[in-house]
C-alpha cells in the first residue's frame, strides 16, 4: 500500500480523482457515496469496539464520541448512497432511451 496524500492511501486518492473526472457524473456520485458509506461503517465498528473495550478509562469518552459521530456519518452516507443510486438509475435509463423508460414496469412492450 503506497502512501497517498496525508493518511489516505494513494489507491484511494486515485479512485476518488478518477470519479471526480468521470463524465458519468451520477455513477461517479454512486461510487463516491458507496466509498464514504463503507468507510463510515468501518470507522463506526472500530470506534464502538474501542469504546466498549475502554469503559472506565480516560480515553473512553473520546471513543464514545467518535462512535456517536460515526453512527451519524453512516446514516447520512447511506442516504447519499441511496440518492446517488437513484440518480445513476435515471442516468442509465436516459442513456438507454425512451423505450426503456416506457417499459420500466417489466413488460415486454407488447
Each residue's pLDDT tens digit, 17-28: 999 999 999 999
Backbone φ and ψ for 3, nearest 5 degrees, come out as: -75, 135
Is 33 in a helix, a strand, or coil?
helix
pLDDT below 70 — which residues of the chain? 1-5, 99-110
Question: Cα separations (Å) of 42 from 3, 16, 37, 50, 58?
Answer: 20, 18, 9, 12, 23
CA distances 77 to 59, 63, 70, 71, 104, Å, are 27, 20, 10, 10, 27
Residue corresponding to grid cell 473520546: 62
Q: What is residue 95's predicted lDDT score, i.e. its pLDDT?
A: 87
Confidence at residue 110, expressed as pLDDT on a 0 to 100 scale: 42
Amino acid at each position: 500500500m503506497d502512501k497517498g496524500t496525508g493518511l489516505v492511501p494513494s489507491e484511494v486518492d486515485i479512485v476518488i480523482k478518477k470519479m471526480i473526472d468521470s463524465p458519468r457524473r451520477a455513477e461517479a456520485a454512486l461510487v463516491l457515496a458507496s466509498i464514504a458509506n463503507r468507510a463510515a461503517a468501518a470507522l463506526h465498528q472500530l470506534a464502538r469496539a474501542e469504546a466498549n473495550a475502554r469503559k472506565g478509562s480516560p480515553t473512553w469518552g473520546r471513543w464514545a464520541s467518535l462512535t456517536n459521530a460515526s453512527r451519524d456519518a453512516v446514516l447520512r452516507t447511506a442516504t447519499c448512497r441511496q440518492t446517488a443510486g437513484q440518480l445513476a438509475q435515471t442516468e442509465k435509463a436516459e442513456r438507454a432511451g425512451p423505450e426503456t423508460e416506457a417499459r420500466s414496469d417489466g413488460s415486454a412492450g407488447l
